[in-house]
Amino acid sequence: MSLETDAPPSFLANVWVKAYRAVPRINFPFTELDIAFSLCSATFLYLARLSFEETLIRVFQWPRDTPGTTEAVGSLAAMLHAMILVPGLFVALTTQPYSPTEHISKAPQWWQDLVSALLQTCTGYMVYDSVVSFFMLKGFDLDGTDLLFLGHHLATTIYMTQTRVIQAGHTSAMICMLLGEFTNPFQNGRNVTNQALQLACCNGIWMQKAHSIIEFLFAFFYFTMRSFVAPVFFLHVTIQLLIAPSRHNISLGLRIVWILLIWAVEVGSYDWIIQCWDILQTYREGFGGNWPIQKEL
């Protein structure tokens, strides 16, 4: 089927596919692995970060070169990444049969390009965030939390890249990406408003209300997603990786590694699940008309 007649069924899918096909191919050295869209994604997010920083400083009077501003602009870039990625993932996962172990050649070419664009976009974010948030800003002076984040970024990048190399298992990676990134805008939005509340320029009644609303939404969605929705999908992916007829598209070693990575992320979210449950308890009376406005930060 030619590229001209191989048309995506929706506007959003068409935008992704056209953008992907417009980028000249660049292979990782000594391989046939295309990384051009990852490089574009990383560059775009870095430029977006710089734009967010100047906007906060020049328009909203945030202080320059402070930890709060640095954290806020990083969170804004993360939110942008998630809000771009999640709709594309939803389209990809709902326009072809859901099979976590199927070979990608079974899908039409436009869908293969869409999947590559999505995986490379997320990979680009992991590269951008690792280089900027940890190495450029911290100069390799990393603590335990930083190392955990870097480990997560590395594991995620390896998982996504392996699916592209073997041309199978991409759906298992995308469902993990969707479930993980869905709560990203709420979590990072909470980070931004939390930093804003520390500043005289921004700590007003509307920001306090916005922070309370965003914090509640984050706690509700994260707790629901990680406690109930994600485990169901992760269990299904695990079963498919172990017993589905198409599992042989993926080596046993890779399937075991992927299962361990999937459940390591789920187990690693336990502390956040507890924190979100505690946050929800503080808002129990909010629905009775006594919505919390000023919170202890």
Domain residues for the domain of 161 are 11-204
**Total domain count for the chain?**
1
Residue 102 lies in a domain: yes
Would you put residue 102 in left (φ > 0), alpha (ψ -120 to 50) or beta?
beta
In the prediction, which pLDDT does 144 show? Answer: 77
CA dist., res. 55 & res. 59, Å (int): 5
Written as six digits, the tokens of 257 are 């590694």
Asked if residue 230 is part of any domain, the answer here is no
80 in a structural domain: yes
Q: How far apart are CA 167 and CA 250, in angstroms?
A: 9
For residue 295, tell me if it sits in a domain. Answer: no
Question: 6-30 pLDDT, tens per residue?
Answer: 789 999 999 999 999 999 999 999 9
Say what the alpha-carbon torsion angle 208, 210, 213, 214 is, to the nearest 10 degrees. -110
Contact 209, 203 (CB under 8 A): no
> 119 near 181, Cβ under 8 Å?
no
pLDDT at 109: 96
pLDDT tens digits along 216-263: 999 999 999 999 999 999 999 999 999 999 999 999 999 999 999 999
Nearest Cα residue to 125 out of 177, 162, 175: 177
For the chain, which residues score pLDDT lower than 50?
Answer: 1-5, 287-297
Q: What is the pLDDT of residue 2?
A: 40
Residue 30 is assigned to a structural domain of this protein: yes
pLDDT of residue 286: 63
pLDDT at 297: 34
Q: Is residue 75 part of a domain?
A: yes
Give the up-direction half-sphere exposure of residue 293: CA atoms within 13 A in the CB hemisphere.
6
Residue 132 lies in a domain: yes
58 within domain boundaries = yes
Q: Which of 163, 41, 154, 159 is nearest to 102 (CA)?
A: 163
